[in-house]
Amino acid sequence: MSNTLVLRLIEGMAGTIESHADQLTRLDQAIGDGDHGINMARGFKELAAQKAAIAALPLGEALKKAGMTLVMKVGGASGPLYGTLFIDMGKATPEAAPTLADLSVMLDAGIRGVKARGKAEVGMKTMLDVLCPVADTLRSLVDQNETDGLDERIIAAAGHALHRTTDMVAKRGRASFLGERSKGHLDPGACSSALLIGAVVGVLAPSSAR
């Protein structure tokens, strides 16, 4: 993956988070403490400030450095979890430019880290409820060697999965304190995950973003 591509990925993610920070905050006001947009915007702004230094590194190291930055700057519950996602993806990154199959393996590794760190699984109304279905979709498309329209299918999987968090009862994080009352709202972390996936797909497969 070229330096320019990593630069554009950072810019894409930071831009999406910045322009949706208010929405993320509103979602977190409904079932949390209202800081998710602020947390994410702070972390991704710092990532954007360091983009040249990060993009100069080999991809695995770039992902690790980005993850450390997110751990330090995002804060809250989501900072260490997003940090782990990036760091563990970095550890699973091959030296050669990653293929789609490599990306699938990297995402699976990152998700394993998030699950372990947050002691969470699918269905608990967290970021994992978007990340896991997206990883499953990517893995099955790669396994079937069906890469036509992969970008649209990933975006659709993320949107569909995000929507499904509305009916879930939160079992982790602050929203879990609300019990049944956490129903009826999108999960903020699931929403930021869907936004980040949209940004990444928009950069890697720009035709789908038009």
- Binding residues among 63-92 for ligand ADP as defined by CB under 6 A: 76-78, 81
Q: Are the C-beta atoms of 102 and 93 separated by less than 8 Å?
A: yes
Task: With CA atoms as reference, report the closest residue to 90 among 69, 112, 73, 67.
Answer: 67
Cα–Cα distance, 121 to 19 (Å, whole number): 29
- Shortest distance, CB of residue 189 to Mg ion, whole angstroms? 9
8 binding ligand ADP? (CB under 6 A): no
Please choose which of ligand ADP, Mg ion, none residue 120 contacts, taking the beta carbon within 5 to 8 angstroms, the exact cut-off set by kind.
ligand ADP
Angle at 78 between CA 72 and CA 80, to 5 degrees: 45
Q: Which of 9, 25, 32, 71 binds Mg ion (CB under 5 A)?
A: 32
Name which of 28 and 187 has its Cβ closer to Mg ion: 28
Q: Which amino acid is at 123?
A: G
33 binding ligand ADP? (CB under 6 A): yes
Eight-class DSSP state of 33: -
Q: How many residues interact with ligand ADP (rule CB under 6 A)? A: 23
Q: Are the C-beta atoms of 193 and 24 separated by less than 8 Å?
A: no
Q: Which of 118, 133, 198, 202 binds ligand ADP (CB under 6 A)?
A: 118
How many CA atoms, within 13 angstroms, populate the side-chain half-sphere of residue 210?
3
Please choose which of Mg ion, ligand ADP, none residue 127 contacts, taking the beta carbon within 5 to 8 angstroms, the exact cut-off set by kind.
ligand ADP
Q: Are the C-beta atoms of 39 and 79 separated by less than 8 Å?
A: yes
Please choose which of ligand ADP, Mg ion, none residue 12 contacts, taking the beta carbon within 5 to 8 angstroms, the exact cut-off set by kind.
none
Q: Candidates 16-24, 28-36, 116-124, 134-142: pick the segment binding Mg ion (CB under 5 A).
A: 28-36
Cα–Cα distance, 199 to 209 (Å, whole number): 9
- Binding residues among 160-189 for ligand ADP as defined by CB under 6 A: 172-174, 187-189
**Cα-trace Rg, the chain:** 16
Q: Are the C-beta atoms of 198 and 133 separated by less than 8 Å?
A: no
33 binding Mg ion? (CB under 5 A): yes
Name which of 20 and 174 has its Cβ closer to ligand ADP: 174
Residues within the interface to ligand ADP (CB under 6 A): 28, 32-33, 35-36, 39, 76-78, 81, 114, 118, 120, 126-128, 172-174, 187-190
